[in-house]
């Protein structure tokens, strides 16, 4: 069957199926050749991808280092650095057959230094690691046409000038040059080839994605071309049938010239590359002209000695089908012979080793499995999800059932299948014991108690500490915590976790509050505010529990919350007051802050405790005494009173003193049934900041008992709690 071939070699010199020569230095994975669309059956789909790399950090040229091939739903990856073959990410040894030796549809073979991958439809990939890559396909209509095959390898249509095609289908005009353009559209050429860069490539090395595209690499470097030409001269001599490669004259001048100029190109950039160029050229010549007698002394004549491994020797004509552990007596080989190393008599190639040629006695060989694939002696391998272990013993395969531990898993570790203990366990994958992190890592839970669990642990954190290891102090007790520890800066409704129980709410159960995060440094929790008559007609129990709509800032947070919070942590109380314009006086906003504020428990009927008068713009005004706290501040203040707790006297009305007594015990009722800390012996006191609101400018008369402060009416008022010392209020953090 006639075939077509595309190849790359050296500092990659490419030849398309139709014979276009070009150079491409990019080090990113790219598509070498694949169908542009699915081919007719039985050919379907195949793909050959490759990656070039610099051999060392000082190298000026890149060479092919890895190849990846898709055939029959298998992905075969050959790593030239480790000489390793992988199938679907798992390392295999060669020869490797799928599904088995007799009925193979995909085969991988290795003969130093070349890997061959082929399928049953005549697609053959040969990879001479760190030097060349060739793909051979049948020369039949199914593969022909200018839009049938895509990639750097071009198409098959007998027209090399349409072989440089962008991934989007645009053909680059080469202006009828036999090689890639060098001047006016060189950059366009490189960018066109760069479109075939792909992410579909197995990453085997760290930072492999840090590659360079072709157009970023400068192919023109200053080097000694004259010296390189002199070093490569033996190839040019073959055109005249003289020199160490005289027998290669039959390749023809065009082929010899291409090899000669490729040799100059590579050797100019790296003089050490000369022998690699000569070796590849000589082997190509041997394969192309098998009947020509070759010069067995060529290596000494060009000073390129061949060093062989122990138990092997150089030969100008080593078999392409040498004796191996898998095939100690190979059938007749029709692939010709090549220059290289061959095993000494009595030794065969250990084909389970691909890093370098290794010759061993046949009794040292391993064995083959039921599919005909080879394996090393003394190195077990696993199949069937790691449940079956296989070993080579006396040249035969021995298998037994050995599943992974219940606390282990079958994994691909690097490139080999093996049992591995799950996270939190240690062992060999078959016997896995729990790691007690609590014992082995003291203090792992930081501010918490470590509890060991099978394969893991968890931390029972102390109050306010969060995170897997209790290493973050993140309390949510009030809005000040949200500001300091959670970086919340916007006013609005947020949830907190009060560190105490409340009516119908357990300790730390989430609770919504309204926060002011902008006034005077922020961190204020809304205690009370309203726009109309929210506080009217509420029972004492409702005042204990709290009520209102947070989003509308119409809320009473609850007596029990106020008591618990002010006793849990010292609080200040800020009052924001608003007066309507009246009697020629303008609207006025003031504030007043009590340095300490607390509320006693229910047994005192939630009596208020204020030790100092408030300060602020309100207190700086014309008042000679506090607008609310007008009792003896060294003593506890008044209790909280609501209309349903008050009992009116049934005594008849007498004089003013009796009237006063009657009035004093009905303060809530006389204030439109609103609850407050009324001072009963001072005509209910000078203030009621829970009073019913009114709308400016409809200011009520004093006797109507609306919202009051300093014995006068207010248009609006709100009350806000914030810890004493904010933002440095948290004594629990002082030692950290």
Cα separation, 278 vs 284, in Å, equals 10
Closest of 461, 528, 450 to residue 497, by C-alpha: 461
How confident is the model at residue 734, as a pLDDT?
52
How confident is the model at residue 242, as a pLDDT?
94
Residue 251 domain-assigned? yes
The phi, psi pair for 262, rounded to 5°, reads -65, -40
Each residue's pLDDT tens digit, 422-453: 999 999 999 999 999 999 999 999 999 999 99
Domain co-membership, 671 together with 696: yes
Element (H, E) at 231: helix 225-237
From 301, 333, 358, the end of a domain falls on 301
Give the dihedral sign, CA 708/712/715/719: negative
Q: Give the CATH number for residue 109.
A: 3.40.1000.10
Each residue's pLDDT tens digit, 191-241: 899 999 998 998 876 655 567 787 776 554 567 777 888 899 999 999 999
Residue 42 domain-assigned? yes
How confident is the model at residue 584, as a pLDDT?
76
Each residue's pLDDT tens digit, 691-720: 999 888 777 766 667 999 998 888 899 999
Q: How far is CA 342 from the centre of its chain?
A: 49
8 Å CB contact between 498 and 561:
yes
Burial label for 568, CB within 10 Å (0-12, 13-18, 19+), is middle
Burial label for 108, CB within 10 Å (0-12, 13-18, 19+), is buried
Each residue's pLDDT tens digit, 59-85: 667 889 999 999 999 999 999 888 889
Domain co-membership, 164 together with 274: no
Closest of 375, 279, 5, 324 to residue 156, by C-alpha: 5
**Tokens of residue 18, six digits:** 């139709």
The range of the structural domain enclosing residue 563 comes to 479-723
Domain co-membership, 203 together with 236: no
8 Å CB contact between 48 and 116:
no
How confident is the model at residue 175, as a pLDDT?
73
Domain co-membership, 529 together with 408: no
The phi, psi pair for 588, rounded to 5°, reads -145, 125
**Tokens of residue 84, six digits:** 């390793």
Each residue's pLDDT tens digit, 167-197: 999 999 887 666 666 666 778 888 899 999 9
Average pLDDT over residues 39-59: 86
Closest of 355, 353, 446 to residue 93, by C-alpha: 353
Into how many domains does the chain fold?
5
**Tokens of residue 551, six digits:** 């989003």
**Tokens of residue 242, six digits:** 């003289």
Domain co-membership, 548 together with 696: yes
Each residue's pLDDT tens digit, 566-577: 999 999 999 999
Cα separation, 432 vs 346, in Å, equals 46
Q: What percent of the chain has pLDDT over 70?
A: 92
Collapsed DSSP state (helix, strand, coil) of residue 8: strand
Residue 377 domain-assigned? no
Element (H, E) at 85: strand 84-87
Domain co-membership, 161 together with 123: yes
How confident is the model at residue 646, as a pLDDT?
85
The phi, psi pair for 716, rounded to 5°, reads -160, 155
8 Å CB contact between 274 and 284:
no
Model-level pTM?
A: 0.59
Cα separation, 559 vs 721, in Å, equals 13
Domain co-membership, 535 together with 599: yes
8 Å CB contact between 507 and 523:
no
DSSP string, 698-716: -PPPGGG--SEETTEE-SE
How confident is the model at residue 23, as a pLDDT?
86
8 Å CB contact between 289 and 251:
yes
From 260, 280, 301, the end of a domain falls on 301
Bigger pLDDT: 413 or 22?
22
Q: Give the CATH number for residue 600.
A: 3.90.215.10
Average pLDDT over residues 361-372: 90
Closest of 433, 350, 345 to residue 392, by C-alpha: 350
Average pLDDT over residues 578-582: 86
Residue with tokens 């950090």: 57
Domain co-membership, 429 together with 451: no
In whole numbers, what is the pLDDT of the chain averaged over residues?
89
8 Å CB contact between 198 and 41:
no
How confident is the model at residue 580, as a pLDDT?
87
Average pLDDT over residues 615-644: 88
Cα separation, 521 vs 724, in Å, equals 13
Contacts of 634 (CB under 8 A, 6+ apart): 611
Domain co-membership, 131 together with 263: no
Domain co-membership, 713 together with 641: yes
Half-sphere exposure of 461 (CA within 13 A, CB side): 13
Cα separation, 464 vs 718, in Å, equals 29
Residue 321 domain-assigned? no
DSSP string, 262-324: HHHHHHHH-GGGHHHHHHHHHHHHHHH-TTSPP-TTHHHHTT------TTEEEEEEEESS--B
CA 463, 486, 529: angle at the middle one, nearest 5?
95
How confident is the model at residue 183, as a pLDDT?
60
Cα separation, 212 vs 504, in Å, equals 66
From 181, 216, 251, the end of a domain falls on 216
Each residue's pLDDT tens digit, 251-307: 999 899 888 888 888 888 788 889 989 998 999 999 899 889 999 999 999 999 999
Domain co-membership, 187 together with 247: no
Q: Which of 267-271, 368-372, 417-421, 539-543 has the lowest mean pLDDT?
A: 267-271
Average pLDDT over residues 309-334: 87
Residue 341 domain-assigned? no
Cα separation, 3 vs 123, in Å, equals 9
Element (H, E) at 657: helix 656-664
Range among 41-55, 403-417, 558-572, 660-674 rated most confident: 558-572
Domain co-membership, 694 together with 545: yes
Query: Please, which pLDDT band fits residue 736 given cuts at 50, 70 and 90?
Result: very low
> Does pLDDT of 649 surpass 70?
no
**Tokens of residue 423, six digits:** 């996270």
> What are the E-state strand segments in 414-568?
416-421, 425-427, 432-434, 448-453, 456-461, 465-466, 472-473, 492-496, 511-516, 524-529, 547-549, 554-556
Cα separation, 405 vs 418, in Å, equals 12
Residue 398 domain-assigned? no
Average pLDDT over residues 21-46: 92
Collapsed DSSP state (helix, strand, coil) of residue 232: helix
Cα separation, 77 vs 50, in Å, equals 10
Residue 731 domain-assigned? no
Residue 734 domain-assigned? no
Peptide bond into 42 cis (omega under 30): yes
Each residue's pLDDT tens digit, 461-495: 999 999 999 999 999 999 999 999 999 999 999 99
Mark out the alpha helices in 296-401 (DSSP H runs): 298-301
């Amino acid at each position: 069957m006639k075939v077509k071939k595309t190849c790359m070699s050296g500092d990659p010199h490419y030849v398309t199926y139709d014979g276009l020569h070009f150079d491409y230095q990019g080090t990113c994975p790219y598509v070498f050749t694949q169908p542009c669309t699915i081919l007719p059956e039985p050919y379907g789909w195949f793909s050959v991808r490759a990656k070039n790399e610099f051999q060392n950090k000082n190298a000026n040229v890149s060479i092919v280092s890895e190849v990846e091939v898709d055939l029959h739903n298998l992905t075969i990856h050959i790593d030239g650095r480790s000489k390793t073959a992988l199938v679907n990410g798992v390392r295999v040894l060669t020869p490797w057959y799928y599904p088995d030796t007799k009925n193979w549809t995909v085969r991988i073979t290795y003969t130093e230094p070349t890997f061959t991958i082929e399928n049953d439809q005549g697609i053959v990939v040969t990879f001479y690691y760190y030097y060349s890559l060739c793909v051979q396909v049948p020369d039949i209509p199914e593969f022909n046409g200018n839009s049938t095959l895509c990639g750097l390898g071009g198409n098959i249509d007998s027209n090399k000038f349409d072989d440089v095609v962008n991934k989007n289908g645009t053909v680059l005009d080469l202006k009828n040059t036999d090689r890639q353009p060098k001047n006016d559209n060189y950059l366009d050429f490189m960018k066109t080839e760069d479109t075939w860069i792909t992410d579909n490539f197995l990453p085997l090395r760290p930072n492999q994605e840090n590659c360079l595209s072709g157009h970023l690499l400068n192919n023109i470097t200053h080097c000694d071309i004259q010296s390189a030409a002199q070093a490569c001269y033996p190839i040019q001599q073959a055109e005249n049938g003289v020199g160490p490669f005289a027998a290669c004259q039959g390749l023809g001048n065009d082929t010899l010239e291409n090899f000669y100029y490729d040799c100059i190109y590579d050797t100019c950039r790296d003089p050490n590359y000369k022998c690699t160029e000569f070796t590849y050229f000589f082997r190509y010549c041997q394969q192309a002209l098998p009947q020509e007698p070759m010069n067995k002394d060529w290596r000494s004549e060009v000073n390129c000695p061949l060093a062989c491994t122990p138990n092997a020797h150089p030969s100008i004509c080593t078999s392409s089908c040498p004796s191996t552990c898998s095939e100690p007596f190979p059938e007749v080989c029709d692939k010709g012979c090549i220059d290289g190393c061959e095993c000494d008599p009595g030794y065969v190639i250990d084909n389970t080793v691909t890093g370098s040629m290794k010759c061993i006695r046949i009794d040292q060989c391993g064995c083959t499995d039921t599919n005909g694939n080879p394996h090393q002696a003394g190195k077990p391998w696993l199949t069937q999800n790691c449940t079956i272990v296989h070993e080579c013993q006396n040249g035969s395969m021995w298998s037994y059932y050995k599943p992974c531990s219940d606390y282990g898993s079958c994994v691909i570790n690097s490139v080999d299948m093996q049992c591995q203990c799950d996270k939190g366990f240690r062992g060999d994958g078959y016997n896995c014991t729990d790691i007690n992190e609590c014992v082995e890592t003291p203090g792992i839970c930081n501010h918490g108690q470590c509890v060991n669990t099978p394969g893991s642990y968890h931390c029972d954190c102390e109050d306010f500490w969060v995170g897997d290891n209790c290493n973050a102090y993140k309390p949510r007790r009030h809005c000040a915590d949200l500001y300091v520890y959670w970086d919340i800066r916007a006013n609005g409704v947020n949830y907190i976790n009060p560190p105490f129980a409340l009516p119908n709410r357990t300790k730390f159960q989430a609770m919504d509050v309204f926060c002011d995060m902008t006034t005077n440094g922020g961190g204020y929790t809304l205690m009370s505010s309203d726009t109309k008559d929210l506080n009217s007609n509420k029972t004492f129990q409702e005042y204990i529990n709290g009520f209102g709509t947070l989003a509308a800032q119409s809320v009473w947070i609850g007596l029990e919350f106020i008591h618990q919070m002010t006793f849990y942590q010292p609080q200040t109380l800020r009052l924001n007051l608003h007066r309507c314009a009246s009697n020629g006086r303008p609207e006025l906003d003031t504030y007043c802050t009590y340095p300490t504020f607390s509320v006693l428990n229910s047994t005192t009927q939630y009596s208020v405790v204020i030790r100092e008068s408030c300060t602020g713009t309100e207190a700086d005004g014309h008042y000679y005494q506090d607008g609310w706290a007008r009792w003896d501040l060294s003593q506890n203040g008044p209790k909280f009173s609501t209309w349903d707790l008050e009992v009116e006297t049934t005594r008849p009305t007498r004089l003013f003193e009796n009237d006063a007594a009657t009035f004093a015990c009905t303060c809530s009722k006389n204030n439109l049934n609103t609850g407050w800390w009324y001072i009963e012996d001072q005509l209910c006191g000078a203030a009621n900041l829970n009073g019913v609101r009114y709308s400016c400018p409809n200011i009520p008369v004093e006797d109507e008992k609306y919202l009051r402060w300093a014995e006068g009416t207010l248009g609006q008022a709100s009350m806000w709690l914030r810890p004493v010392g904010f933002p440095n209020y948290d004594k629990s953090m002082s030692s950290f």
